[in-house]
């Protein structure tokens, strides 16, 4: 069978660490709206692709038209050494939306490259290679970003020269501060931050990088306001704050356009990628001009900000603003989390339901509350067999992540809830 043969060829020629989902991996052949169809003709409701790439769904005419008009000029890309109107317009929009005063934007091809750039800016600006990161973080796969990735299973090299110190404030469910009230949790994390700066670093830290909700780490969601308290401490030491908005940007959390805004604080820089291109490769950094312009040497990304990606991203951004998809994320996220909480209440295999907007997660546990990755793996397969694609994640691989496109409808949210309920019931306790 063609599918089996492709899988065999994939395994022979691509690296073993490039993991595929599912016992029988899927090959997506076509898609529309929130549904994808595989090579065998089976259609699935996609409850994960929204955060990976397709923030507003598949086959959106406005995006295809924007890309097609650029293709029709005959220029897929020439060079970022020349002026590109859609790039400038997109940068202006993002600078304005960022809320960062006097902001400038640099475009990259991925989230990894965006975070590498932010780290380069912060370390150059502060003339220090010391960085603070949250435990249980994921920031990318290149040499500096693997170093600031706190999930061991995703930090493929320990040989990076970046110096990192780890701070609490991400994954609370299994932290020593789990049972504290929100206010006491914030106090404990702030005390930890101060202690780490004072005792584990030479004091000359360049920056702290945070995910407002940890993505790969299983949508671990700190209490609102934590990062404002962090920023007060960071300011005492002149340490910059970078918010990695690769998963939390563009209104996905429902309440705010950027995840960090739940903390009522303006970071020095934000990084973004994934959903901005609705499937096209684009990422970037938005930062205060003084920080962005601190590099003395030239630094260019050949494809970062190319006209296909920026035309598609501009159309995506306009679409999600024009249709107020942030409000839709808030409304349907609410509906979903209530439904999930009531399922979890009668199924002890689900130990925690968390997240915001259309970024929701279920943590699977064993009888004594221990991580239960087997249950999460079983849920993934059970949901798929019922026509729903979801994501996996978490420090222990025991979290199921739900992140549909932000154009999700009420009927689709209910359909997913009903499939998930049956799939959870089918998971061995």
Written as one string, the DSSP assignment of 146-165 is HHT---GGG---S----EEE
Residues 242/210, Cβ–Cβ less than 8 Å:
yes
Closer to ligand PMP by Cβ: residue 162 or 200:
162
CB 109 to ligand PMP: min, Å:
8
CB 274 to ligand PMP: min, Å:
6
**Nearby residues of 159 by Cβ (< 8 Å), 6 or more positions away:** none
CB 330 to ligand PMP: min, Å:
21
CB 329 to ligand PMP: min, Å:
17
Pairing relation of β-strands 35-38 and 43-46? antiparallel
CB 183 to ligand PMP: min, Å:
27
User: What secondary structure letter does DSSP report for 222?
Assistant: P
CB atoms within 10 A of CB 419: 21
Interacting residues toward ligand PMP by CB under 6 A? 110-112, 115, 138-140, 211, 215-216, 244, 246-247, 273, 283
Residue 398's nearest CA partner among 426, 422, 425, 369 is 369
Handedness of CA 300, 302, 303, 308 (dihedral sign): positive
Closer to ligand PMP by Cβ: residue 218 or 283:
283
Number of H helices, E strands in the chain: 13, 15
Closer to ligand PMP by Cβ: residue 273 or 408:
273
Task: Please classify residue 354 by burial: count the beta carbons closer than 10 Å to its beta carbon, then call 0-12 exposed, 13-18 middle and 19+ buried.
Answer: buried
CB atoms within 10 A of CB 166: 16
Residues 284/107, Cβ–Cβ less than 8 Å:
yes
CB 108 to ligand PMP: min, Å:
9
CB 111 to ligand PMP: min, Å:
2
Closer to ligand PMP by Cβ: residue 70 or 149:
149
The whole-angstrom separation of Cα 181 and Cα 309 is 44
Closer to ligand PMP by Cβ: residue 223 or 275:
275
Minimal CB distance residue for ligand PMP: 111
Task: Please classify residue 290 by burial: count the beta carbons closer than 10 Å to its beta carbon, then call 0-12 exposed, 13-18 middle and 19+ buried.
Answer: exposed
The residue behind tokens 């407002």 is: 212
Closer to ligand PMP by Cβ: residue 192 or 244:
244
CB 346 to ligand PMP: min, Å:
32
The whole-angstrom separation of Cα 363 and Cα 408 is 23
The whole-angstrom separation of Cα 200 and Cα 174 is 23
Closer to ligand PMP by Cβ: residue 58 or 138:
138
Closer to ligand PMP by Cβ: residue 138 or 365:
138
């Amino acid at each position: 069978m063609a599918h089996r043969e492709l899988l065999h060829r994939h395994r022979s020629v691509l690296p073993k660490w490039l993991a595929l989902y599912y016992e029988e991996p899927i090959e997506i052949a076509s898609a529309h709206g929130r549904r994808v169809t595989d090579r065998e003709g089976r259609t699935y409701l996609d409850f994960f692709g929204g955060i990976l790439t397709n923030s507003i769904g598949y086959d959106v005419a406005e995006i295809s038209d924007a890309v097609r008009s650029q293709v029709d000029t005959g220029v897929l890309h020439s060079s970022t050494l020349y002026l590109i109107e859609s790039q400038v317009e997109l940068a202006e929009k993002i600078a304005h939306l960022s809320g960062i005063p006097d902001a400038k934007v640099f475009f990259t091809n991925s989230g990894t490259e965006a975070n590498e750039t932010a780290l380069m800016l912060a370390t150059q600006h502060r003339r220090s290679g010391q960085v603070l990161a949250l435990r249980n973080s994921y920031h990318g796969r290149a040499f500096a970003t693997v170093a600031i990735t706190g999930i061991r299973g995703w930090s493929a090299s320990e040989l990076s020269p970046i110096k990192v110190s780890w701070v609490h404030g991400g994954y609370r469910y299994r932290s020593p501060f789990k049972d504290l009230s929100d206010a006491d949790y914030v106090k404990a994390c702030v005390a930890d931050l101060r202690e780490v700066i004072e005792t584990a670093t030479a004091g000359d830290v360049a920056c702290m990088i945070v995910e407002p909700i940890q993505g790969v780490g299983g949508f671990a969601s700190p209490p609102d306001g934590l990062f404002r308290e962090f920023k007060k401490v960071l300011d005492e030491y002149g340490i910059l704050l970078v918010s990695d908005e690769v998963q939390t940007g563009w209104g996905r959390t429902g309440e705010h356009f950027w995840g960090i805004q739940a903390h009522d604080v303006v970071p020095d820089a934000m990084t973004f990628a994934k959903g901005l291109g609705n499937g096209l490769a684009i990422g970037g950094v938005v930062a205060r001009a003084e920080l962005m312009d601190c590099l003395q040497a030239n630094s260019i990304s050949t494809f970062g900000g190319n006209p296909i990606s920026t035309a598609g991203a501009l159309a995506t951004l306009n679409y999600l603003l024009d249709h107020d998809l942030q409000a839709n994320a808030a409304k349907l996220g609410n509906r979903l989390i209530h439904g999930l909480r009531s399922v979890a209440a009668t199924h002890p295999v689900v130990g925690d339901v968390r997240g915001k907007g259309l970024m929701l997660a279920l943590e699977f546990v064993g009888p004594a509350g221990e991580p239960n990755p087997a249950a999460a793996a079983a849920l993934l397969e059970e949901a798929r067999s019922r026509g729903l694609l979801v994501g996996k994640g978490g420090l222990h691989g025991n979290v199921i992540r739900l992140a549909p496109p932000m154009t999700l409808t009420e009927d689709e949210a209910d359909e997913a809830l009903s499939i998930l309920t049956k799939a959870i019931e089918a998971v061995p306790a």
